[in-house]
Structures are given as C-alpha cells and as structure tokens.
Amino acid sequence: MKRAPGPAGPYPAPALPRPARLLVVAAYVLLAAAVCVDLASDPRLTFSPVLGTAPVLASIGTRRARVPLVTGAVALLLVVPLTLADPEVPVALHVTAAFTVLALTCISAANVVLVSTRERELLRSRSVASAAQQALLRPVPERVDGLRVAVRYLAAAADAQVGGDLYEVLTTPFGVRLLVGDVRGKGLGAVETAADVLGTFREAAQVEAELGAVARRLDATVRRRGVGEEFVTAALLTVPRSGETVELVNCGHLPPLVRRDGRVSAVGAGELDADPPLALRELAEGSYRPTAFAFGKGDLLLLYTDGVTEARDAAGRFYPLERRLAALPDSAPGVLTDRLVADLLAHVGGELADDAALLAVRRE
C-alpha cells in the first residue's frame, strides 16, 4: 500500500477539469493583453493594478508555494516598466499596484500551503483507516469443510471516505459460520465499530450453539459503543457439515442470493423477514428469528453489501445484481466474483462511490 507523503514532501495537485483549465488560460491571455495594451497605449492610462491577479492565477492547481511567489515577484518587476511607460499617471497609483501585487502574492502562497497541508492530513488519515480496515478483513480460505469460498472487497473511489464493510468465514464446532455486514457511517469510527463486531463474532461463533445468541452478542457489542446513532446491518449464516440447509439471521441486511440451476432467488426478501440492525434489537419485540433455506450441492450463495446494489451508472440506474448474477455462466466462486466485479465497475464507469464487498460460497 502506498504511504501518505510526509508534511515536508511534495504533494501533487489534482488535475484541473478541462473547463477550468480553459478559464485559467483565458485569464492569463487577458492579463498579457492588458500589459501589452498598457505599454502601447495612452501614457495617461495604466493597467498595472491588474498584475495583482497573476499570483492568484498561479496558485490555482498547484501545491507548491514557490509558484505564486515567483509569479508575484515577476508581476512586481513588471510594475517598473509600466510606470516608465505611463509618465502622466500618478506614481502613487503604481505604488498602490505594487503593494497590491505583494499582498496578493503572500495570500496566494499562504493559501497553497494551507490547502496542501490539509490534503496531506486527510490522505494520511484515510491511509491509516484503510490499512486498519484491510488488517481486520483477513483472507478467507478458498476451501473449507466442503465449501468453495471467494471474497472480493472493492474500496471506494479515492475521494470517498473509508467505509465499514466487514466479512468473515469461520470453521466452528457447529459448521462454517459466515458474516457480512455494513456499518452505518464512514471513517475511523466505522472501522473501529467493524473491528468490535468482528472480534465479538470470532469469539461468539465458536462457543454459541444458536446463531441467534451470536447475533445478540453482536447487538450488545454495538450498543455498548454508544456512538451517536451508529448501527450495523449484518447477515449471519451457519452452513452445517451435513445436510442441505443453511441457517440465516438477517439483522437488517440485504437478502442473500441463491443461484440454483441458472436461477437466482433472494432469501427472505420481504421487509418483515429481517430483524432490526445491530444496536436496534431492543426497539422491536421478540428475539432473533433464524430462517432455514435449502443449499444443496452445486448451489451458489452470494452475500454482499449495499455498495454493490446501490452503485449507479451515468443515467442514475442501480446495479441489477440479481439479474446480472443469473446471466453469468456457471463457474467457480472466484471466477464468478471476478466477473461480477468487472461488470460492476463497467456499470459505474470505473469508480465506486462506496465500499463494496462480495462473499460467494458454493457447496461442492
């Protein structure tokens, strides 16, 4: 992973959009034209105050303070020939123009330093959060207890905040237990919550025979954090070593998809089939309601986060995950998730607005 540049290191500025570049070029052309007209026109007329725009223009799109400083120095020197070219203009006006150039040069350089410092701090914070998140999301085994497993995690675009998507695959005395979740919120707080949820799941999944009991412990973990209105949507599953059924506890998460014989169906797709998200269990009556569904040999189970289904194309259309999954040729989970990722990125034009996770499981 790339390291964030230090405070003293160079920080490249983002490229200006084409319309902005054209406007800046036009401003430079107008400035040069004003200087030329001043040198060749009526000695009673001067454009020397316009030179104050030079350091401001130079500060656009750069993260190096010396650029507006050098440009300001050149503009300050140009005041001298303009003063000589306009002998009938009061010297006080040229002196005022010189001080204006000097003041705007200092302001422009200070602004460049301020912006570059804040961007470095933001990049460093985002890099730390991203590294922490990647450390939490450990690699999953490709094969485990008769299952083939594949996970794909897609980080959001560079200008988006780090999210709180999480997943885990564990071998336990009760079978293989799966977790996919999404923390409400962004940044380091979301990563910390994801760490707490994963830590609790890794311990509870090994000792709690009932999947509902695992969910209760996760709910208590998020409630204890007490950070504003924070909650977590999560899907918890147990795939037993024998039999062809899977147990699901859906805590406000998107319904898992099962692909069987080329057809895709959602498990518990109705709103009433899902329990409240983690940290909100006490707001609803009753306890967690496990759901059992068929999962036989050759079936594919897909868990995902809303970064997939809420991804939009240029026309604002959501990614049709269920339809695209049904259209893909039958293949191993790793190949299938790679194709889904490529299709998803093509749908959005190459960049996601939110982190996204895919967890595919096939019973061999």
Could you tell me whether strands 245-251 and 300-304 are parallel, antiparallel, or unpaired per DSSP bridges? unpaired
Residues 321 and 242 in one domain: yes
pLDDT recorded at residue 259: 95
Q: Report the C-alpha gap between 260 and 270 in whole angstroms.
A: 20
Residue 298 domain-assigned? yes
pLDDT recorded at residue 19: 86
CA 284-167-344 angle, 5° bins = 105
User: What's the pTM value of the predicted model, to 2 decimals?
Assistant: 0.69
pLDDT-wise least confident of 57-66, 97-106, 135-144, 264-273: 264-273
Residue 272 vs residue 124, higher pLDDT: 124
222: pLDDT strictly greater than 80 = yes
Q: Report the C-alpha gap between 225 and 227 in whole angstroms.
A: 6
44: pLDDT strictly greater than 90 = no
Nearest one of 52, 19, 49, 47 to 33, comparing CA atoms: 47
Residues 268 and 167 in one domain: yes
- Tell me the one-letter amino acid at 91: V
Residue 20 vs residue 13, higher pLDDT: 20
Nearest one of 9, 10, 93, 5 to 44, comparing CA atoms: 93
Beta bridge partners of 183: 232
Helix (H, G, I), strand (E, B) or coil at 37: helix
Domain that holds residue 289: 140-363
pLDDT recorded at residue 98: 92
Q: Average of pLDDT values for 121-144?
A: 78
Question: Among the three residues 64, 97, 129, which one is the final residue of a domain in this structure?
Answer: 129
pLDDT recorded at residue 163: 66
pLDDT recorded at residue 176: 96
pLDDT recorded at residue 4: 37
Residues 297-315 as b or e (16 or more Cβ within 10 Å = b): eebbbbbbbbbbeebeeee
Residue 179 domain-assigned? yes
Residues 205 and 354 in one domain: yes
pLDDT recorded at residue 154: 87
Nearest one of 323, 195, 340 to 262, comparing CA atoms: 323
227: pLDDT strictly greater than 70 = no
256: pLDDT strictly greater than 90 = yes
Residues 303 and 199 in one domain: yes
- 278 secondary structure, DSSP code: B
Residues 119 and 145 in one domain: no
In the chain, DSSP assigns E strands to 143-144, 147-154, 165-172, 175-183, 232-239, 245-251, 257-260, 263-266, 291-294, 300-304, 356-363
Q: Residue 171 belongs to a domain with what CATH number?
A: 3.60.40.10
Starting at the earlier edge strand, list the strands of the sheet with 165-172.
Answer: 165-172, 175-183, 232-239, 245-251, 291-294
Residues 211 and 350 in one domain: yes
pLDDT recorded at residue 85: 83
Phi, psi of 323 (to 5 degrees): -70, -40
Residue 10 domain-assigned? no
Angle between helices 66-85 and 91-136 (to 10 degrees): 170
pLDDT recorded at residue 1: 34
Q: Report the C-alpha gap between 326 and 345 in whole angstroms.
A: 18
- pLDDT averaged over every residue in the chain: 87
- Tell me the one-letter amino acid at 171: T
pLDDT in tens, 262-298: 899 999 755 456 889 999 988 877 788 899 999 999 9
Q: How many domains does the chain have?
A: 2
Question: Among the three residues 129, 149, 180, which one is the final residue of a domain in this structure?
Answer: 129
Q: Average of pLDDT values for 22-49?
A: 86
pLDDT recorded at residue 318: 96
- Tell me the one-letter amino acid at 332: A
Residue 295 domain-assigned? yes
Q: Report the C-alpha gap between 134 and 198 in whole angstroms.
A: 13
pLDDT recorded at residue 133: 65
Residues 123 and 170 in one domain: no
pLDDT in tens, 195-209: 899 999 999 999 999
The pLDDT-based confidence of 161 (bands split at 50, 70, 90) is low
Residues 186 and 116 in one domain: no
Q: Average of pLDDT values for 43-62?
A: 88
Residues 210 and 306 in one domain: yes
2: pLDDT strictly greater than 80 = no
Q: Report the C-alpha gap between 239 and 169 in whole angstroms.
A: 11
Residues 173 and 215 in one domain: yes
CA 176-336-334 angle, 5° bins = 55
Listed ranges 223-227, 240-244, 283-287; the one with the highest mean pLDDT: 240-244
pLDDT in tens, 82-99: 888 888 888 888 899 999
Residue 150 domain-assigned? yes
**Residue labelled with tokens 């749908």:** 347
DSSP string, 195-221: HHHHHHHHHHHHH-SSHHHHHHHHHHH
Residue 7 domain-assigned? no
Return the structure tokens found at 280. Answer: 């909100």
pLDDT in tens, 99-122: 999 999 999 999 999 998 888 887
Residues 123 and 146 in one domain: no
Q: Average of pLDDT values for 298-325?
A: 94
Phi, psi of 328 (to 5 degrees): -75, 145
Q: Report the C-alpha gap between 317 and 311 in whole angstroms.
A: 8
Residues 152 and 255 in one domain: yes
pLDDT recorded at residue 6: 41
Q: Average of pLDDT values for 229-239?
A: 91
Listed ranges 22-26, 36-40, 189-193; the one with the highest mean pLDDT: 22-26
303: pLDDT strictly greater than 70 = yes
Helix (H, G, I), strand (E, B) or coil at 103: helix
Q: Are 159 and 351 in contact (CB under 8 A)?
A: no
181: pLDDT strictly greater than 60 = yes
Nearest one of 189, 182, 179 to 129, comparing CA atoms: 189
pLDDT recorded at residue 160: 55
